[in-house]
């Protein structure tokens, strides 16, 4: 299914529609993605056999769906930054009681903190890592995964550099995306947010990025990506176009490689030549 942006009206519709069907037991599940992998937690079934699934929790009386998501992830040591999309639901029988499970895509401030704070078995996994994964969970994860990147387009990179040349902050933002090697390899990003033309003489092909539109798509949840990819695009847009970025959230969520790229971009924005 196509992901749906989470709004108060949507939450109200999901709950009232479920109750109207006579279903009173509601669970929530969270699809938390980081660097191309999805968080799974272990549990046991009625036969005491271990299984893996998305983090989930029942919705307690008087509790909203979003509150239940936050509670379920807090137990794992994770802090919810944003519930980005509604991914769908499935129903299952539990002790002769039908339960509806709503699944949401969730961004957290520091995905790696789960490794330090929980005693629950967990794994950051690709779909193929755990063949026994429930089919409904596979469907949810497949929905959250961004399109497969294509090989980098070198002529496009030359055109972006030509357009940015001489404007240090714009150069820095463009170089950050080039060396990050994710966004400019995504056909959906290039098609919607990169615009190609020529210089005044018509002899040099130039390209520019619509930074504001790209950041707006992130905020609307229509540009699916991992949390680190989200932050790298926001930082590049902040350098190139001055769009606001939360440095605390952005910088503390980066791995060593991406942090190095950002530090190089900051120096370049100040007129320093980037490292080879």
Dist. CA 70–CA 80, nearest whole Å: 6
Cα distance between residue 115 and residue 231, in whole Å: 21
CATH class of domain segment(s) 4-144: alpha beta
Would you say 1 and 88 are in contact if contact means Cβ atoms under 8 Å apart?
yes
Map out the domains of the chain as residue ranges: 4-144, 154-269
Kindly give the confidence (pLDDT) of every residue in the chain, 276 residues in length, as a single tens digit, with 9 standing for 90 and above. Answer: 556 788 889 999 999 999 999 999 999 999 888 766 788 887 766 666 667 788 999 999 999 999 999 999 998 889 898 898 888 888 887 667 889 999 998 988 888 777 555 556 777 776 555 555 666 666 666 655 555 555 567 899 999 999 999 999 999 999 999 998 889 988 889 999 999 998 888 888 999 999 999 999 988 878 877 777 888 999 999 999 999 998 888 887 777 788 889 999 999 999 877 655
What is the structure's pLDDT at 42?
79
Q: If you search the block for the tokens 């080879």, which residue do you land on?
A: 276
- Token code pair at residue 211: 């930074």
Give the SS3 label for residue 185. Answer: helix
pTM: 0.53
Within 10 angstroms of residue 24's Cβ, the number of other Cβ atoms is 11
DSSP per-residue codes, 60-122: PTT--HHHHHHHHHHTTT--EEEEEEEEEEEEEEETTEEEEEEEEEEEES-GGGHHHH--S-E
d(Cα 250, Cα 240) in Å, to the nearest integer?
Answer: 16
According to DSSP, residue 202 is labeled S
């Amino acid at each position: 299914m196509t992901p749906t942006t989470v709004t108060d009206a949507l939450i109200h519709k999901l709950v009232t529609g479920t109750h109207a069907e006579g279903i009173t037991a509601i669970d929530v599940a969270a699809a938390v993605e980081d660097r191309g992998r999805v968080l799974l937690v272990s549990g046991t079934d009625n036969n005491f056999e271990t299984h893996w699934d998305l983090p989930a929790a029942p919705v307690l009386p008087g509790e909203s769906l979003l509150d239940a998501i936050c509670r379920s992830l807090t137990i794992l040591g994770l802090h919810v930054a944003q519930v980005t999309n509604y991914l769908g639901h499935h129903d299952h029988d539990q002790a002769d009681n039908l339960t509806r499970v709503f699944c949401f895509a969730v961004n957290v401030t520091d995905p790696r903190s789960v490794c330090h704070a929980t005693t629950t078995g967990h794994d950051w996994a690709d779909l193929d890592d755990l063949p026994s994964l429930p089919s409904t969970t596979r469907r949810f994860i497949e929905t959250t995964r961004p399109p497969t990147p294509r090989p980098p387009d070198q002529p496009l990179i030359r055109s972006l550099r030509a357009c940015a040349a001489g404007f240090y902050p714009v150069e820095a933002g463009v170089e950050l995306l080039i060396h990050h090697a994710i966004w400019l390899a995504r056909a959906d990003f290039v098609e919607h947010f990169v615009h190609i033309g020529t210089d005044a003489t018509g002899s040099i092909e130039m390209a520019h990025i619509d930074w504001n539109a790209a950041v707006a798509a992130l905020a609307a949840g229509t540009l699916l990506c991992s949390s680190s990819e989200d932050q790298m695009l926001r930082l590049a847009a902040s350098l190139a176009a001055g769009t606001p970025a939360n440095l605390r959230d952005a910088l503390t969520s980066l791995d060593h490689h991406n942090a190095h790229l950002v530090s190089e971009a900051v120096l370049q924005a100040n007129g320093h030549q980037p490292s080879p």
